[in-house]
A and B are shown apart, each in its own frame.
Chain A
């Protein structure tokens, strides 16, 4: 199993839901998708590359042929996939600290969810419902999502500056270069390996 590739961690979690609760969650996700500010918490935490929630109704497990038995389930299932930066504990601590309302809204429909605050029972629950990744690929393992965004900002600044950089007089260049430096100065962190998982 490999949950980690470079700076990214692949978390998978599956939780059961009583079928009458599923439509409520679907509406909630619809609202979440439609109202952008609700996603701002996730964006501001800035440690998830990509994440998704997938609801599978109990009758929806793919059935490909007669040799495959039909599933007979009583629960619907909510599966969560995340590609995040940082350690497992760090990730969950952060969510519990600042996004607990949103987390609760999503997972309160799952059986035996203890709430995301306080954090110890929450971590206990995640331990139960997390299942491990067998193979994980990361196209830019040395870059956290912060690094990617910083690099894109630097590229924009570079493209702008490059347009006139060679046609300015040295004195003009000096001034423009300084302004360019100020524009990129917070985005020059090096990329590399992540700290070890704890």
Chain B
């Protein structure tokens, strides 16, 4: 199935955007401004729909004219491109969008033609599928782990790296005991939030050379 690689689903949606002569601000413009205002970290709507690995929204104004002798042509509508890579099946994902981030979905897709709202997740799902474009070729470097599995692994990698450095040169029995403690720690630790922390908060940690 071209939309799928392993257990990752690659969804591509092109939703035609409403046009209108009587508007102060075009739907596409308002949509752009809205998207620009959204957080992109752990408070992102896609962090909420936590099966999302990577997602993007793009207001596609037109096709590209690559220059003569190619023909110049134009789209009659603008399209909202939604490209997302997530765990699991499509129906579950669309239902989660409708149920868990309805405000966001409304704010985005209200600008699009034929949007039925999210009150009825089935209708919403059907609408989105009408806008779905089949992926022709999908490449996924890691296609067998969920977002949570990746995050847990990253958490473990960081903790272990720190542990190894801290315990270098210590007597074996001591390391063994500390390792047991580490194992318990990691088993109990909650999975890190998807989306990462606000970059401001990690500035000091990431730019140590600024001290």
> Residues of A at under 8 Å CB distance from B?
1-2, 5-6, 8, 10, 12, 14-16, 25-26, 29, 32-33, 39, 42-43, 46, 48-56, 60-65, 67-75, 77, 79, 81, 83, 110-112, 125, 128-129, 131-143, 145, 147-152, 154-155, 158, 162, 165-166, 168, 170-171, 173-174, 177, 181, 184, 187-188, 190-193
Contact = CB atoms under 8 A, between A and B. Distances in A.
Given A53-B137, A139-B47, A134 B77 contact: no
15 contacts: A5-B40, A15-B66, A53-B136, A54-B134, A56-B14, A61-B77, A69-B77, A135-B40, A135-B56, A139-B147, A145-B141, A165-B179, A174-B175, A188-B157, A188-B164
Interface string B27-69: 0000110011010110010110010111111111101101100
Contact of A33 (B44, B137, B183): B137
Given A15-B66, A138-B54, A177-B172, A62 B40 contact: no
Interface in B114-162: 114, 127, 130-131, 133-142, 145, 147, 149-154, 156-158, 160-161
Interface of B: 2, 8, 10, 12, 14-16, 18, 31-32, 35-36, 38, 40-41, 44, 46-47, 50, 52-61, 63-64, 66-67, 70-71, 73, 75-77, 79, 81, 83, 85, 112-114, 127, 130-131, 133-142, 145, 147, 149-154, 156-158, 160-161, 164, 171-173, 175-176, 179-180, 183, 194-196, 199, 202, 205-207
B156 A56 contact: no
B131 A62 contact: yes
A103 to B, nearest CB: 13
Contact of B156 (A2, A52, A81, A155): A155
Given A68-B113, A138-B195, A54 B135 contact: yes
Nearest to B151: A140
A184 B180 CA distance: 18
A173 B156 CA distance: 20
A52 B59 CA distance: 18
A147 B158 CA distance: 10
B79 A61 contact: yes
Contacts of A39: 139
A192 B137 contact: no
Contact of A71 (B70, B77, B140): B77
B153 A75 contact: no
B179 A62 contact: no
Contacts of A8: 54
A26 B57 CA distance: 25
A155 B147 CA distance: 15
A140 B55 contact: no
Nearest to A162: B183
A54 B176 contact: no
Given A61-B16, A79-B81, 20 more contacts: A52-B83, A52-B136, A52-B138, A61-B75, A62-B15, A75-B70, A125-B66, A129-B66, A133-B56, A134-B35, A137-B54, A137-B195, A139-B151, A140-B154, A148-B142, A151-B153, A152-B145, A155-B156, A170-B172, A177-B176
A154 B150 CA distance: 11
